[in-house]
């Protein structure tokens, strides 16, 4: 048992610290943490992201995300579906979520949306990558193909210039492995608070600035605060910096290739002692949106 605990120490620390998969460019991937975001952009939005963390460190996290969300016709409803694959050391998680939102018009330019999230998670451990004494111990066989359902909720207020949201993606805590003494891999409840505002820095609105904040609270882990600032030039080029409190500093860039296609890239530099053992983290994403004459945006949305 001690040998197994030592082998699992690395990814148990990672999982306890991160819990849900983390993203540098969270402002473009809001539906991953808040179901009330579904349909809020007013168009059919398809999003794909790949993140490789702590380059050079064996077993470091790799996350792939794919999501689709859209408003439902002329109703106040929004619908979203997302798939997240998260690999850490010998573990491999696949999470499929469905999101439903309902929006209320609170002013001429603002809406308040409520959302619910239903999730199914399939957790796997490649035991061939582990070293323990009793290969036939039945508790280790339970580490593969373990399915757990969950449910979450969120609220999201947004206007043309600002947004504010609070969400709990998963209400149910689950133990993926428990030796009756220590839960090596435990999903805890994550609380998210996010906010952002868009400032026009010139009269013609060619230059915009958006500060944003994401706070994540989870029992047993330090408070995680992400602060970012992005500049958008001529509704085409976006450049920004971000800081994750006591964890990393990041640089971000994005470009509106066409009316519907946007590409973004982010790089994290670790500020903890872990920086000695890796060369940073990379994140790239694509977002494609389908417009028609009724929901065509006058200019690209900043969130």
Query: In this predicted model, which residue has the larger pLDDT, 141 or 285?
Result: 285
Give the pLDDT of residue 220. 76
Q: Is 242's pLDDT higher than 90?
A: yes
Q: How far apart are CA 181 and CA 296, in angstroms?
A: 56
Q: How far apart are CA 60 and CA 32, in angstroms?
A: 21
Mean pLDDT in the chain?
85
Superfamily of domain 1-290: monomeric porin ompg (2.40.160.40)
CA dihedral (284, 94, 83, 157) positive or negative: negative
Torsion on CA atoms 172, 217, 229, 287, rounded to nearest 10: -10
Give the pLDDT of residue 3. 39
Instruction: Locate the domains of the chain by residue range.
Output: 1-290
Report which DSSP code applies to 259. S
pLDDT tens-digit profile of 41-66? 999 999 999 999 999 988 899 999 99
CA 243 and chain centroid, separation: 16
Please, how many CA atoms are within 13 Å of residue 73, restricted to the half-sphere of its CB?
Answer: 1
Query: In this predicted model, which residue has the larger pLDDT, 141 or 248?
Result: 248
pLDDT tens-digit profile of 95-150? 999 999 999 999 999 999 999 999 999 988 877 766 655 555 565 556 678 899 99
Is the overall model pTM greater than 0.75, yes or no? yes
pLDDT tens-digit profile of 183-213? 555 678 999 999 999 999 998 889 999 999 9
User: Do 230 and 212 meet the contact criterion of CB atoms below 8 Å apart?
Assistant: yes
Give the pLDDT of residue 8. 43
Question: Three-state SS for 274?
Answer: helix
């Amino acid at each position: 048992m001690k040998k197994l605990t030592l082998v699992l120490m690395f990814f148990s620390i990672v999982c306890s610290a991160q819990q849900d998969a983390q993203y540098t460019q969270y402002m473009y991937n809001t539906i991953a943490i808040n179901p009330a975001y579904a349909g809020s952009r007013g168009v059919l939005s398809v999003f794909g992201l790949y993140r490789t963390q702590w380059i050079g460190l064996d077993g470091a996290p790799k996350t792939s995300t794919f999501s689709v969300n859209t408003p439902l016709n002329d109703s106040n409803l929004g619908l979203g579906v997302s798939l997240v694959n998260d690999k850490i050391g010998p573990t491999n998680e696949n999470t499929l979520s469905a999101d439903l939102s309902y929006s209320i018009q609170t002013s001429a330019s603002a809406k308040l949306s409520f959302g619910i999230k239903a999730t199914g998670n399939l957790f796997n451990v490649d035991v061939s990558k582990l070293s323990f004494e009793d290969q036939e111990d039945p508790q280790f066989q339970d580490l593969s193909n373990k399915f757990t359902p969950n449910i979450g909720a969120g609220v999201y207020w947004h206007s043309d210039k600002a947004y504010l949201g609070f969400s709990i993606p998963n209400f149910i805590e689950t133990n993926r492995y428990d030796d009756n003494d220590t839960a090596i891999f435990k999903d805890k409840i994550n609380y998210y608070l996010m906010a952002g505002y868009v400032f026009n820095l010139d009269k013609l609105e060619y230059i915009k600035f958006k500060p944003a904040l994401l706070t994540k609270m989870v029992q047993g882990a330090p408070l995680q605060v992400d602060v970012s600032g992005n500049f958008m030039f001529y509704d085409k080029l976006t450049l920004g910096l971000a800081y994750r409190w006591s964890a990393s500093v990041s640089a971000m860039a994005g470009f509106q290739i066409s009316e519907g296609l946007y590409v973004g890239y982010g790089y994290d530099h670790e500020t903890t002692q872990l920086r000695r053992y890796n060369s940073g983290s990379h994140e790239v994403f694509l977002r494609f949106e389908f417009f028609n004459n009724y929901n065509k945006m006058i200019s690209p949305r900043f969130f």
